[in-house]
Amino acid sequence: MVPRDSFLSMYEKSGGFPVDEDRLAFYDLLSAVKMACVMLTGLRAFADGRTGDTRMAIFDHQLSGVQMIIAESLGLVPSLTTWSPEDA
């Protein structure tokens, strides 16, 4: 939607305060971990037959993306936004 740097610039201009990159990184990681918990709970409920809601079942295909975001946040994999074929 909006490139990250542009968004942060607009956010800082609107709020009048600089963005604290360490805090932003913490909340990025926190939101990804919370989403992974929601997905795992939904997957378990579907697998156990506690729900027939197929939206829970499709978390199976989305969970790996959230796991990659977590791994990137922890520095376990290179940043997906700065990766280039030369890094391979």
Name which of 74, 78, 84, 63 is nearest 25 in CA terms.
74
pLDDT, residue 69, reads 93
Q: Note the pTM of the prediction, 2 decimals.
A: 0.79
Residue by residue, pLDDT tens for the chain (88 residues) are 889 899 999 999 999 999 999 999 999 999 999 999 999 999 999 999 999 999 999 999 999 999 999 999 999 998 877 666 676 6
Give alpha helix (H) positions in the chain: 4-15, 21-47, 54-57, 59-73
Contacts of 67 (CB under 8 A, 6+ apart): 36
CA distance 53 to 55: 5
pLDDT for position 86:
72
Residue 78 has a pLDDT of: 86
Position 42 scores a pLDDT of 97
